[in-house]
Amino acid sequence: MSKKDNEDEQKIETIPPDPRFQDSNVTRWCFGSYVDYHRCRRLFREKNPGCEQLSKIYKTICPNSWIERWEEQINIGTFPMDLPPTECNPKKK
């Protein structure tokens, strides 16, 4: 295998278990991770490793149709959870 082939390969890994959702259906984990990701991204605009981990989790366990519906609800303002405003940023200038 050439060096170029190795560079083209993607690292495949699983998401870590979440102790809050050991004995439950992944629906709550999916929704919780989705909401936590959006809260994190609104609070820390730049790429934050914690936010990226939440993104990886919800994209792995949530059905695409749910994600699309939630994105649409956020855009039109009918999402059922409170999210910080998009201009929210705790860092002082």
Q: How many helices (H) and strands (E) does the chain have?
A: 4, 0
pLDDT value, residue 59: 94
pLDDT, one tens digit per residue, over 13-67 is 777 777 776 666 788 889 999 999 999 988 887 788 889 999 999 999 999 999 9
pTM score: 0.70
8 Å CB contact between 86 and 72: no
What's the mean pLDDT in 58-77?
93
Given phi > 0 = left and psi -120 to 50 = alpha, else beta, which region is 77?
Answer: left
Angle ∠(86,84,40) on CA atoms, nearest 5: 85
Sign of CA dihedral 44, 36, 10, 19: positive
pLDDT value, residue 64: 95
Give Cα 76 to chain centroid, integer Å: 20
